[in-house]
């Protein structure tokens, strides 16, 4: 099943409607840079913690470069969530959208 995705530049528009922003990076990565409104569930905890994610709105999934978020979005799609991968992750956000975000 193909995973829907959006470019980092489209994130601002996507955030104008009800959604959940899910960050699947590690706690160490989150300490470097985080988007304050995100729900943090590391990818390796997603299988057990996915019930914490509201199922009544799209889930925009974020990681560092977009690979872990792709896997997380595919997993969530299989469970019936409307999951969307943010291509390029927070690194692409810092390069293309908001250079104030620290890179690592």
Active site residue 63: yes
Instruction: Assess contact for 27 and 42: CB atoms under 8 A.
Output: yes
CA distance 97 to 53: 26
Query: Which position among 21, 62, 63, 90 bears the catalytic label?
Result: 63
Neighbouring CB atoms inside 10 A of 19's CB total: 17
Q: Give the residue numbers marked as catalytic.
A: 63
């Amino acid at each position: 099943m193909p995973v829907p995705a959006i470019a980092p530049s489209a994130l601002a528009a996507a955030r104008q409607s009800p959604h959940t922003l899910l960050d699947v990076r590690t706690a160490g990565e989150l300490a470097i840079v985080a988007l304050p409104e995100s729900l943090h569930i590391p990818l390796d905890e997603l299988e057990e913690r996915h019930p914490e994610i509201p199922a009544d709105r799209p889930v925009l999934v974020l990681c560092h470069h977009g690979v872990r978020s792709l896997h997380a979005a595919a997993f969530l799609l299989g469970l019936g969530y409307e999951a969307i991968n943010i291509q390029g992750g927070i690194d692409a956000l810092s390069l293309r959208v908001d250079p104030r975000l620290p890179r690592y």
